[in-house]
Every structure is written in C-alpha cells, then in structure tokens.
Amino acid sequence: MKARLASPYGAKLRPMRIAIGSTRESKVEAAKEAWGIFSAKVELAPSGETHFVSFDVPTSSPNMPLTAEEVMQGAQDRADRLMLQLKKEKAEADFYIGLESGFNVVDARGARRQVFLESWAYVSDGYRGYFGHGGGIYVPPAISSQVMDRGIELGIVIDRFSQQNDVRSAQGTWGVLTRDILNRQHSFVVALIAAFAPFYNAAAYSS
C-alpha cells in the first residue's frame, strides 16, 4: 500500500502540476521518470493525475559553470525564474524544477587539474526549495581542456570527440563516457529523486 504524503497538497483534488524550467527532452523525461519512481511509493497527487509542463527559462549562470556552486546556482535560478514567470501569468504549479549541469573543477592547477561533469536539480513548492546531486563523472583532458582552455562549447567538443551529431540532445557526455550505461537523463533522474526527498519523505526532514 502506498504511503500518503502528509502535506498541504492533500486537500487538493485537481491534478498535480509540475513545472520544468527547460524544454529539452532529456530534462523533461527525467522529471517524469523520477516522479514515477517515488510517487509509486508515496501518494503525491491525491487526484491520481499529474500534469507536466515545460518552459524555456534562461539562467544567469555561465554557459559552462566551473564549480559546483555555479551549477547549483544555475539550477535554482531556473526554478526561481520559472516560478516568477508563471505567477505573472497566473499559472502557478505545485512544484517548480530547475536542472543544470556543468563542470566542477577540483584542482585547477595544470596537470593536477581534475574536472568532473555534474548534474544538479533544485525543486521548490513555492515556499521551500531543496537541491539534489546526480553524481559526477571524471572528464578526460581531451574533452575538458578544449572547453576550459580554448573556450569551446562542450556540445561541440563532445560531438567531435564521439564523431556523432547533437550528442547533447541524446545520451549527452555521460553516455559517451560510460558507453551508454549512464546517460544525461539518468544523471538528472538521480538528482531529482534526491531533491524531492524532503517532500516525499517529510518525516525524515522534520527535525
């Protein structure tokens, strides 16, 4: 039997509305997949219906964040801007999702530099917001140096490296580096499951 979420949403019989601050397929599908995983155990939508809506929302973060803080800020920025946009349109949602990926440079000094590609999620119900981390994968210098030292966009670099087209919209750099064992969508699914945890497991976060 599913556990029922003890929250303000319990009184609502209308469909749950989830807003995603991106129209990229990998991000939208990640939100749907993550929701399906934890909502199978906890009843988040009392009406039994969930509607997902996506919007192309800009962010103030750099095109390629180089620290975890910048990636996190980008995710939160997307969710916050999405929230303001929908409020102006009087089309609010129950949850607002911001997703961002980028580099986290652990040591920027020459040969010791270690660069990880990380995915982060930020989820807000309009009052509270939480981050979730989808893990990180080491990026080989053949890729990271092109981005960091020559300023070439990661999407262009990974297409050249893999000899494929538009990798970013498909498996992403994650897929190229793991032989498709993990792809871009998977990394966001993990981040979202983590970011939603305080909502679907409120008892663990109440103290």
Q: What is the mean pLDDT for each group of 10 consecutive residues in the chain (207 residues)?
A: 47 77 91 90 72 85 84 94 89 92 78 87 94 93 88 85 80 87 92 94 84
Report the distance separating Cα 86 and Cα 83, nearest Å: 5
- CATH match for 3-201 among 3.30.70.330, 1.10.10.410, 3.40.50.620, 3.90.950.10: 3.90.950.10
Q: How confident is the model at residue 43, as a pLDDT?
A: 72
Q: How confident is the model at residue 74, as a pLDDT?
A: 93
Q: How confident is the model at residue 10, as a pLDDT?
A: 45
Q: How confident is the model at residue 6, as a pLDDT?
A: 45
Q: How confident is the model at residue 170, as a pLDDT?
A: 77
Edge-first strand order for the sheet with 129-138 is: 50-54, 16-20, 95-105, 115-124, 129-138
Report the distance separating Cα 36 and Cα 131, nearest Å: 19
8, amino acid identity = P
Domain spans in the chain, listed from the N-terminal domain onward? 3-201
HSE, CB side, 13 Å, CA atoms: give it for residue 161: 24
Q: How confident is the model at residue 44, as a pLDDT?
A: 73
